[in-house]
Structure 1
């Protein structure tokens, strides 16, 4: 969910899995929503191909819902989507619940405040906030400090290529990285820091 040119209506296509080809529609009145591109999502879900079955997923800055929907389509057990804007959250519920039923939960909330209240643990988290608000780093720290990640969880962080990459906890190991256009995509895995030190 990032800033790009101003638009009023848009759509994203689920590109794999049981709902491949289905389109999600969204209204972007302020022009502040930019879903991850098809190419970047294809790369990301190729990285995660073997990790999605039965995964518990958190799409923290849901926006269009593309990442959470893609994960569900490809076999995730359950996805929680958190979206601050009320009209977008309602739109996500309207479109995703008929497709995925009880496998999807949509929350209209500020992402950082929602994390502070959550008691769930996740196998895969998408951290893809608006680039210019400085939210990625505190979100990553909150996920770590509040114990919301399952052992060996995966965390996807997307940011602007021209800016410094958001700092992440020491226990997250960078596994994959790709740059495309103005986007930097990084996939981390939560690891045991003491174990890594012994192996190094």
Structure 2
């Protein structure tokens, strides 16, 4: 009996906008967990009326796919934060290949970066590594405390389904939510 080869996909499809059906290359690692196609499709359907000309912050960029999907749908600019240097290099190569100039990739620890107030964003993507609840809690706290989100801005949170409660600021109103067996994802509107 032949042993089944394990196959890891080395690319992701962009699912909408001007780069629809184009591929980006990714570097596989244990920490990398790109948002699945069907979740991205749902997310960007939710964001349809908010994304045009928006300023977006992708806090745990990983593959960079959420930022690239945003630019593909005419976001004005994206700031992508990523701690893994190899992932940063892959994102930059993909941006060059697609000739995207409106996305800035920063090699940084997101939590440390969020301590420095720079400017406000319309949409913030918060999809930290699933096994690290601290990163999610601390990021939410800093996004609110340092006023990173514009009034009526959108916050997207994707996390592993578990019983651990995450405290959400009272002025973040849930707009949409869905879950799978393993993941829950929501968008909030900041009042």
Partner of 1:41: 40
TM-score, structure 1 normalization: 0.87
Whole-Å separation in 2 of the counterparts to 1:165 and 1:60: 20
1:147 matches 2:150: no
Residues 82 and 109, structure 2, Cα contact 8 Å, conserved in 1: yes
Aligned-residue offset at 1:86: 0.7
Counting matched residue pairs gives: 185
1:160-175 pair list within 5 angstroms: 160-175=160-175
1:178 matches 2:178: yes
Partner of 1:115: 114
Whole-Å separation in 2 of the counterparts to 1:165 and 1:47: 24
Over 3 Å counting, the alpha-carbon distance change for 1:60 and 1:118 in structure 2 is same
Whole-Å separation in 2 of the counterparts to 1:153 and 1:144: 11
Whole-Å separation in 1 of the counterparts to 2:167 and 2:98: 36
Whole-Å separation in 2 of the counterparts to 1:53 and 1:161: 30
Corresponding residue SS for 2:92: helix
Residues 83 and 110, structure 1, Cα contact 8 Å, conserved in 2: yes
Whole-Å separation in 2 of the counterparts to 1:102 and 1:117: 24
Residues 9 and 25, structure 1, Cα contact 8 Å, conserved in 2: no
1:83 matches 2:87: no
Aligned-residue offset at 1:102: 2.8
Over 3 Å counting, the alpha-carbon distance change for 1:109 and 1:66 in structure 2 is same
Over 3 Å counting, the alpha-carbon distance change for 1:8 and 1:116 in structure 2 is farther
Residues 97 and 104, structure 1, Cα contact 8 Å, conserved in 2: no
1:111-135 Cα deviation digits (max 9, x unpaired): 0111112412100000000011121
Corresponding residue SS for 1:144: helix
Residues 95 and 101, structure 2, Cα contact 8 Å, conserved in 1: no
Partner of 1:16: 16
Whole-Å separation in 2 of the counterparts to 1:39 and 1:157: 16
Partner of 2:102: 103
Whole-Å separation in 1 of the counterparts to 2:157 and 2:81: 16
Whole-Å separation in 1 of the counterparts to 2:165 and 2:105: 28
1:58-83 Cα deviation digits (max 9, x unpaired): 11100011111111101100001100
TM-score, structure 2 normalization: 0.91
Over 3 Å counting, the alpha-carbon distance change for 1:7 and 1:149 in structure 2 is farther
